Structure 1
């Protein structure tokens, strides 16, 4: 298997781990500890983002040396744009293209899945060529 495909598989595996950390921590903090949902979500997504940064930096893109402020800022900027700007725009666009006869949960799930794929591609290529470029 080529290094190119290994890198993509690592990126997806780390993404799955980050998502699991986010969800599990969100449930623990919100449902079991009783934090308000917004606080639980802020903490859980932050933990997922930090994990993503550290693991993708080292294992996916092979960046070495000390972590720089420029690298951290670029990573969180790319990730934030993907989550808070790109995904909502894609969801809104895809929702408008779906047939009105479809059930709202199907429309929402379909739009979210498309937005997630677009966001994954956005993150992968910007992490590779901007954040962790060699």
Structure 2
């Protein structure tokens, strides 16, 4: 039980590192595709999907060390990411438009909430 508790900071650190890699993958694919004149909306969809897939496989194998059939995990992963996206968008709207926070402050707080939700959901539901 104690080792499970002490593993959380390391898992969270790995989760954050994977997030940084995902952002890099997304950006690199986007830059590559737009350099080859792929329409921006299509490039964004493809690059975001590449980052999302990278996130699933890296978190599954490295952060949470799960094996076996990934289909159920992937469905839960997608559902969690839709919930996280919806919540963070709602928080952006709330903080910026209704509470008159700056765009950057709104984004920062919404991202922090999304990070905690995504990590907790991944740990307790997606890769449990």
- TM value normalised by structure 1: 0.85
The reply on whether 1:42 has 2:45 as its aligned counterpart is: yes
Of residues 98, 103, 106, the one that matches 1:108 is 103
Distance 1:98 1:55 in 2: 37
> Moved runs in structure 1, 4+ residues, more than 2 A?
none
In structure 1, the residue matched to 2:9 is 5
Q: Give the deviation of 1:58 after TM superposition.
A: 1.2
Q: Give the deviation of 1:113 after TM superposition.
A: 1.4
In structure 2, the residue matched to 1:33 is 36
In structure 2, the residue matched to 1:53 is 56
The reply on whether 1:94 has 2:89 as its aligned counterpart is: no
Instruction: Note the residue ranges of structure 1 that are not aligned, 5 or more in a row.
Output: 100-106
Of residues 65, 75, 78, the one that matches 1:76 is 78
Instruction: Note the residue ranges of structure 2 that are not aligned, 5 or more in a row.
Output: 1-5
Distance 1:34 1:110 in 2: 34
Of residues 99, 110, 122, the one that matches 1:127 is 122
The reply on whether 1:16 has 2:20 as its aligned counterpart is: yes
